Amino acid sequence: MRRSDRLYALVEELRGHAPRPVTRARLAAALEVSPRTIERDVLALQQAGVPIWTERGRAGGYALDAGWHLPPLNLDTTEALALVTALARAETLPFAASARRAAQKVVAGLRGAEGARLEELAARVRVEPEATRSVAEPDVLAAVEQAVLERRVVRLQYLDRRGEPTTRDVEAHGLRLSPGGAFLVGWCRLRGGGRSFRLDRIGSVRLTGEVAPARDVGALVGWAGEAAVSGARPASRRGGPPRRADDVTGSGPDFASALARALPGVCEQEAGATTTFAAGGRPFLAVEADGMAALHLDPDSPEPFRLRLERVPRDEMRSVVERAWRQVAPARARRAHDAVLAARPAALTPEDVRGVVLALPAVTERRRSLRDGDSVQWETGGTMFVMYGRASNLLPPDVADTLMIRHCPDRAAVLAGAPDRFFVTAHYGDAREPGAVLTRLSENTTDHLDELAELIEESWRAFVPKRVLAAHTRGDQR
């Protein structure tokens, strides 16, 4: 940050707290400089006539006169771009017309080279109505922003739609915020074409010293209409990010850890909030309690691949954990794992579950044809207690073979006992309380059918008419 920009930011920090004092340490942390630099900057501002005084003591610090006013607002190009981008998201919110006028005033306020620079940058940013917020890690987001602003070539570690990790060089040309996620738009040198890279699937970003050649961003991904200044909905959806929503649920620290523990020859070690898994004396996975994971997927890259677990489909999570383990596991451990997979019993089928459910008395079956596949639900006493095929807010591909057992009295114990097979989403409430559990048939074998049958019967007992339950209980006692 230039010193002039830092002085301006320092005044803004003080104005935001005026007339309360702000400690030197807090200002240093906010501006990412040393406390000594804050002292020098405050002295420079005081010499320039800015009314800043010092209060001593434990509650002291630097304070700005609340009645002091700045001259008319001056924005640099990136600050103006941030404003018009944020205002573009207001197209579907109250005061949308006012937001458009405000964006036009911001653009009109920049003259000459800065105004031309803003127009050039705005043409490379797309904000669609109802765009989702970015869930990328701060360091990834900061690197992508810098790369787009400077049109740099970056080296990405990226998890593609098939769950395959790749390392590729990408020319960073634009950003897209859409209802399906936030994307870096660029020219992929690995694939030789325009691509959109979802930010929360980027494991790491390394800026190179190369400036990318100018390209038509609209031609890369099929944008049409205006860019971020208006926030208009694109007229064309050719290209761009995939239509399939892949922010699926069901992954998490417990799931990733359970996958690692099931592999042969794995040792784990806890250090604070991080659990590290190793094989052959070499780490391959670190799981953090906040939902982040670091995997060593590329033997040629010293940097681990970082990803947020709840944003990765369960099948992809299985794939990347095993891939990382195979990079370091001894040959005998890999052979043992392959032998276990070859001897694994067959996965459960919908007909297996159907037989268990319909063996219970007073059960009716209802089938529904939905856009994303058929759904089967079983009811007793007019209330659904088990459903297969579409589990509320789950999105593809997890939805394809999901069984939802509506009532599980010991839900916390079930989830803790087999996190590789049972899970819930935020939609189903606090996992520590009784409620629904989810499981995928592809993650269960015929050996697990008796356990599922018990859970299904428990759910059935919660809703079946009392007279039917009493008769069923008497029959069991006989």
- Work out the mean pLDDT of the chain and round it to a whole number: 82
* Six token digits for residue 102: 């405000």
Terminal CA-to-CA distance of the chain, rounded, Å? 81
Higher pLDDT, 304 or 77: 304
Higher pLDDT, 243 or 377: 377
Segment holding 12, helix H or strand E: helix 3-17
**Model pLDDT, residue 298:** 76
**Model pLDDT, residue 242:** 36
Tell me which residue of 250, 291, 253 sits closest to 397, measured CA to CA.
Answer: 250
Tens of pLDDT along 347-360?
999 999 999 999 99
Tell me which residue of 199, 158, 202 sits closest to 177, measured CA to CA.
Answer: 199
Query: Does residue 35 register a pLDDT over 80?
Result: yes
Question: Helix count (H) and strand count (E) of the chain?
Answer: 15, 19
Q: CA 189, 193, 194, 195 torsion: positive or negative? A: negative
**Model pLDDT, residue 233:** 37
Name the amino acid, one letter, at 277. F
**Model pLDDT, residue 7:** 83
For 53-57, 198-202, 288-292, which range has the lowest pLDDT when averaged over its residues? 53-57
The pLDDT-based confidence of 3 (bands split at 50, 70, 90) is confident
Cα 206 to Cα 197: distance, rounded to the nearest angstrom: 15
The pLDDT-based confidence of 71 (bands split at 50, 70, 90) is low
Tens of pLDDT along 216-230?
776 766 654 444 444
Q: CA 447, 451, 456, 460 torsion: positive or negative? A: positive
Read off the DSSP letter of residue 22.
Answer: B
**Model pLDDT, residue 120:** 76
To the nearest 10°, the Cα dihedral for 167, 297, 286, 157? 10
CB within 8 Å of 381: residues ≥ 6 apart: 362, 463, 464, 465, 468
Question: Cα 457–459–465 angle (5° rounding)?
Answer: 90
Cα 290 to Cα 297: distance, rounded to the nearest angstrom: 21
Query: Does residue 235 register a pLDDT over 70?
Result: no
Tell me which residue of 359, 427, 438 sits closest to 400, measured CA to CA.
Answer: 438
Cα 258 to Cα 260: distance, rounded to the nearest angstrom: 5
* Six token digits for residue 476: 């069991």
Tell me which residue of 311, 7, 298, 286 sits closest to 132, measured CA to CA.
Answer: 311
Higher pLDDT, 382 or 137: 382
Tell me which residue of 438, 201, 204, 404 sits closest to 310, measured CA to CA.
Answer: 201
How far, in Å, are 101, 231, 265, 325, 375 from residue 387 at the CA level? 50, 40, 38, 35, 7
The pLDDT-based confidence of 383 (bands split at 50, 70, 90) is very high
Tell me which residue of 355, 141, 394 sits closest to 245, measured CA to CA.
Answer: 394
- Is residue 84 within 8 Å of residue 175, measured between CB atoms? no
User: Strand order in 422-423's β-sheet?
Assistant: 364-370, 373-380, 383-388, 402-408, 435-440, 422-423
Tens of pLDDT along 302-340?
778 888 888 788 888 899 999 999 999 999 999 999 999
Cα 317 to Cα 324: distance, rounded to the nearest angstrom: 11
The pLDDT-based confidence of 450 (bands split at 50, 70, 90) is very high
CB within 8 Å of 46: residues ≥ 6 apart: 52
**Model pLDDT, residue 342:** 93
The pLDDT-based confidence of 448 (bands split at 50, 70, 90) is very high
Query: Does residue 245 register a pLDDT over 60?
Result: no
* Six token digits for residue 291: 């939902």
**Model pLDDT, residue 237:** 39
Helix (H, G, I), strand (E, B) or coil at 445: strand
Name the amino acid, one letter, at 302. P
Higher pLDDT, 264 or 166: 264
The pLDDT-based confidence of 232 (bands split at 50, 70, 90) is very low
Could you give the residue ranges of the DSSP H alpha helices within 329-465? 331-342, 350-358, 411-417, 449-463
The burial of 27, by beta-carbon neighbours within 10 Å (0-12 exposed, 13-18 middle, 19 or more buried), is given as buried
Mean pLDDT of 431-448: 92
Read off the DSSP letter of residue 397.
Answer: T
Tens of pLDDT along 451-463?
999 999 999 999 9
Tell me which residue of 359, 403, 371, 410 sits closest to 384, measured CA to CA.
Answer: 403
Query: Does residue 54 register a pLDDT over 80?
Result: yes
**Model pLDDT, residue 231:** 38
**Model pLDDT, residue 354:** 94
Cα 187 to Cα 184: distance, rounded to the nearest angstrom: 10
CA atoms within 13 A on the CB side of 213: 4
